[in-house]
């Protein structure tokens, strides 16, 4: 049979484990959060590429033939590969 200290320790452990599990359900797993962050970075990269293509079109009057023909605006680096 459990004495009072053992019972309190057991209840505390269950509460802490429950809080950790509830937190993971609320915010998602670390892997899921990493995927969300990477999706945001990809969206920013695509938006930067779209702006650079539009600027190239407006300045040269035609679309760039290849991705190497895109001149980044404001010395921005265009990421064409997955990180």
Instruction: Report yes or no on 81 lying in a domain.
Output: no
pLDDT (average), residues 52-62: 85
Instruction: Report yes or no on 31 lying in a domain.
Output: yes
Report pLDDT for 76. 52
Q: In whole angstroms, what is the distance from residue 81 CA to residue 49 CA?
A: 12
Instruction: Report yes or no on 54 lying in a domain.
Output: yes
Long-range contacts of 35-42 (CB under 8 A, 24+ apart): 38/83, 41/79, 41/83, 42/82
Report pLDDT for 79. 52
SS3 37: helix
pLDDT band, residue 24 (cuts 50/70/90): confident
Instruction: Report yes or no on 63 lying in a domain.
Output: yes
Do 53 and 63 contact (CB within 8 A), yes or no? yes
pLDDT (average), residues 60-71: 80
Domain that holds residue 56: 4-75
pLDDT band, residue 19 (cuts 50/70/90): very high
- Check whether 83 has a pLDDT greater than 80: no
pTM, two decimals, is 0.53
What six digits make up the tokens of 32? Answer: 């899921």
Instruction: Report yes or no on 68 lying in a domain.
Output: yes
The structural domain count of the chain equals: 1
């Amino acid at each position: 049979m459990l004495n009072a200290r053992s019972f309190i320790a057991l209840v505390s452990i269950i509460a802490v484990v429950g809080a950790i599990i509830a937190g993971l359900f609320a915010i998602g797993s670390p892997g899921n959060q990493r995927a969300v962050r990477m999706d945001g970075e990809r969206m920013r990269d695509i938006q930067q590429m779209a702006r650079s293509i539009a600027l190239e079109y407006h300045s040269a009057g035609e679309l760039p033939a290849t991705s190497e023909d895109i001149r980044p605006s404001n010395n921005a680096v265009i990421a064409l590969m997955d990180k």
